[in-house]
Amino acid sequence: MFPIQAPSQTHTTPASEQQASDAAKSTHHAVHLKGLNGFRAMAALAVIYMHLANVFDYKVQSGSLGVTVFFTLSGFLITYLLLLEMKRTQTVAIKKFYVRRVLRIWPMYYLYMIIAILATVFIYTERVEISHILYYIFFMANAPSLVENRIELMYHYWSLAVEEQFYLFWPLAIRLFSKRFVPFCLLLIGVMFGARVAVNVFYGTDNPIYILFYSLRFDCMAIGGLAAYLYFQKSKYITIIQHKAYQWVAWLILLLALLDFFRTFRILDHEIIAVITAILIVNQVSNPKTIISLENKLFDQLGKLSYGIYLIHPLIIALLILVYQKYEIPFTGICILHFPLITITLTYLCAYVCYHFFEHRFIKMKQQFAPVKSSSSI
In terms of Cα–Cα distance, which of 293, 279, 292, 178 is closest to 237? 279
Instruction: Dihedral sign for Cα 87, 182, 273, 71, please.
Output: negative
What DSSP line would sit under 84-127, residue for residue? Answer: HHHHHHSS--HHHHHHHHHHHHHHHHHHHHHHHHHHHHHTS---
Q: How far apart are CA 169 and CA 97, in angstroms?
A: 11
Q: Does residue 48 lie in a domain region?
A: yes
> What Cα–Cα distance (Å) separates residue 37 from each residue in 47, 118, 168, 222, 355?
15, 32, 24, 20, 15
Q: Does residue 197 lie in a domain region?
A: yes
pLDDT at 147: 72
Whole-model pTM: value is 0.89
Q: Does residue 377 lie in a domain region?
A: no
Q: Which residues contact 101 (CB under 8 A, 6 or more apart)?
A: 164, 167
pLDDT at 16: 42
pLDDT at 376: 65
Give the number of domains in the chain. 1
Q: Does residue 240 lie in a domain region?
A: yes
Q: Does residue 25 lie in a domain region?
A: no
Range of 363's domain? 33-367
In terms of Cα–Cα distance, which of 245, 238, 344, 332 is closest to 291? 245
Q: Does residue 2 lie in a domain region?
A: no
Q: Does residue 16 lie in a domain region?
A: no
Instruction: Dihedral sign for Cα 71, 72, 77, 78, please.
Output: positive
Report the chain (378 residues): mean pLDDT per 10 consecutive residues.
Answer: 33 42 50 93 95 92 92 97 94 96 98 98 93 94 80 95 97 94 97 89 82 89 98 93 95 90 75 96 95 95 97 98 96 95 98 97 93 75
Q: Which residues contact 282 (CB under 8 A, 6 or more apart)?
A: 227, 230, 231, 238, 241, 242
Q: Does residue 222 lie in a domain region?
A: yes
Helix (H, G, I), strand (E, B) or coil at 374: strand
Work out the angle at residue 142's Cα, subtended by the Cα atoms of residues 114 and 226, and round it to the nearest 5 degrees. 115
